[in-house]
């Protein structure tokens, strides 16, 4: 247990070149298989792990919520992760405490496995084919081989929203302030692998009154940007004439937001296009990483007014 915690602490500073750390764990068996499959989340979201403490049940809570636990004076909700994803556990032994999207919560799991370092091109989007919205991607742990182990990368934001619904964030015109104005004919190019996040972003951008193109991965956004540049050239224009700003998540299969930002800033065709990173990976360490790859702005998910204000400031420079 101590060595696993040390691994988490040492690797949270990883920026990588399109690489990341995946924290692997097991939840039990499913109705479709007796195998104990591997699941994972980005190690950046893991604050600590511990043996299962005493949990206080909360009256009237969601069936997937075990209760709350006191961790050094902080009351943290505890979610039964196997139950939330439809697995049958033989015993919840480990508590995985996470921080993301400005919140702290804990997930009860059956067993922790290991932390693996992967390239994002080892991770393929799974949203359209599996998981019922709870799995964003499938990680090929041993590379592109027929015998590779597979791990399901969970959309923990969606799981948290299912168990602890807080209602849709306020994204109407009154909440976001003045409309955001783009140059004529220009759009915002956005990228996020979570269907929940894309839905919220789309509502926010619509409330801001800006046209946009939404993509699901950094790779898709990069390819779309190049196609837009080629089309602009045939019209005697530049990519900047067509794309006023790029809004990107950090965690995405195939190409992450760090790599997308570096690609944009290191390419003369696109370097003048501002990039705003919009991520649930909050904290000073991640903000330092954002500055290091040349992003023009950083805003934590998801408050539409803050997103609108950040976009306004970046466009005004």
| Each residue's pLDDT tens digit, 6-34 | 554 444 445 546 788 899 999 999 877 77
Contact of 139 with 130, CB cutoff 8 Å: no
CATH architecture of 185-314: 3-Layer(aba) Sandwich (3.40)
Kindly report the number of other CB atoms within 10 A of residue 142's CB atom.
13
Q: Greater confidence, 53 or 127?
A: 53
Q: What is the mean pLDDT of residues 182-205?
A: 92
Answer yes or no: is pLDDT of 65 > 60: yes
Contact of 69 with 95, CB cutoff 8 Å: yes
Contact of 209 with 188, CB cutoff 8 Å: no
Contact of 69 with 92, CB cutoff 8 Å: no
Which of 134, 138, 49 is closest to 98 using CA atoms? 49
Residues 71 and 51: their CA atoms lie apart, in Å, by: 12
Average pLDDT of the residues of the chain: 87
DSSP 3-state of 282: coil
**Residue 3, Cβ density class (10 Å: 0-12 exposed, 13-18 middle, ≥19 buried):** exposed
pLDDT of residue 225: 98
DSSP 32-46: TBSS--EEEEEGGGE
pLDDT of residue 213: 98
Q: Which among 56-60, 277-281, 285-289 has the top mean pLDDT?
A: 56-60
Residues 250 and 14: their CA atoms lie apart, in Å, by: 13
- CA 68 remoteness from chain centre: 25
Q: What is the mean pLDDT of residues 280-294?
A: 64
Paired tokens of 218: 């950094």
Residues 51 and 24: their CA atoms lie apart, in Å, by: 16
Kindly report the number of other CB atoms within 10 A of residue 65's CB atom.
20
Answer yes or no: is pLDDT of 291 > 70: no
Q: What is the arrangement of strands in the sheet containing 38-42, beginning at the earlier edge strand?
A: 111-119, 19-26, 38-42, 150-154, 135-140, 123-125
pLDDT of residue 125: 86
pLDDT of residue 154: 92
The tens digit of pLDDT for each residue in 206-248 reads: 999 999 999 999 999 999 999 999 999 999 999 999 999 999 9
Q: What is the arrangement of strands in the sheet containing 94-100, beginning at the earlier edge strand?
A: 46-51, 94-100, 103-109, 74-80, 65-71
pLDDT of residue 290: 61
The tens digit of pLDDT for each residue in 94-144 reads: 999 998 877 899 999 999 999 999 988 899 988 655 555 789 899 999 988
Cβ neighbors of 270 (< 8 A, separation 6 or more) are 225, 229, 239, 240, 243, 263, 264
Query: Cα dist. 51→24, 48, 118, 176, 234 in Å?
Result: 16, 10, 27, 43, 61
Q: Where are the domains of the chain?
A: 16-161, 185-314
Residues 14 and 32: their CA atoms lie apart, in Å, by: 36
Residues 4 and 7: their CA atoms lie apart, in Å, by: 5
Q: pLDDT over 90 for what percent of the chain? A: 60
pLDDT of residue 13: 44
Give the bridge partners for 150, in sequence order.
140
Query: Cα dist. 56→76, 88, 111, 269 in Å?
Result: 10, 22, 21, 56
Q: pLDDT over 70 for what percent of the chain? A: 87
Q: Greater confidence, 238 or 4?
A: 238
Q: Greater confidence, 172 or 23?
A: 23
DSSP 141-182: TT-SSTT--EEEEE-HHHHHHHHS-------SHHHH-SPPP-
User: Which of 2.40.50.460, 3.30.2350.10, 3.30.300.20, 2.40.50.180 would CATH assign to domain 16-161?
Assistant: 2.40.50.180
Paired tokens of 196: 């929940």
pLDDT of residue 168: 53
């Amino acid at each position: 247990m101590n060595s696993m915690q040390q691994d988490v602490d040492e690797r949270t500073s990883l920026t990588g070149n399109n690489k990341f750390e995946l924290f692997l764990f097991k939840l039990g068996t499913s109705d479709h298989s007796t195998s104990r499959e591997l699941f994972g989340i980005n190690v950046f979201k893991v604050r600590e792990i511990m043996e299962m403490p005493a949990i206080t049940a909360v009256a009237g809570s969601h069936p997937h919520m075990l209760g709350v636990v006191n961790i050094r004076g902080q009351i943290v909700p505890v979610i039964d992760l196997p139950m939330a994803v439809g697995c049958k556990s033989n015993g919840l032994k480990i508590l995985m405490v996470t921080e993301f999207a400005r919140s702290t919560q804990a997930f009860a799991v059956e067993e922790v496995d290991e932390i693996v370092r992967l390239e994002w091109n080892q991770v393929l989007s799974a949203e359209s084919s599996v998981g019922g919205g709870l799995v964003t991607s499938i990680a090929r742990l041993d590379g592109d081989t027929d015998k590779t182990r597979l791990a399901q990368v969970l959309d923990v934001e969606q799981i948290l929203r299912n168990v602890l619904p807080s209602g849709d964030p306020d994204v109407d015109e009154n909440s976001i302030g003045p409309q955001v104005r783009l140059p004529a004919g220009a759009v915002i190019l956005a990228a996020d692998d979570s269907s929940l996040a894309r839905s919220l972003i789309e509502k926010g951008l619509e409330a801001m009154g800006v046209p946009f193109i939404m993509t699901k991965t950094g790779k898709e956004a990069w390819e779309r940007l190049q196609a837009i540049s080629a089309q602009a050239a045939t019209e005697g224009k530049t990519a900047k004439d067509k794309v006023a700003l790029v809004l990107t998540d950090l965690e995405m299969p195939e190409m992450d937001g760090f790599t997308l930002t570096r690609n944009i800033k290191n390419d003369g065709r696109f370097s003048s296009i501002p990039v705003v990173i919009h991520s649930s990976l909050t904290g000073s360490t991640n903000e330092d990483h954002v500055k290091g790859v040349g992003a023009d702005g950083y805003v934590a998910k998801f408050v539409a007014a803050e997103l609108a204000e950040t976009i306004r400031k970046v466009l005004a420079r």
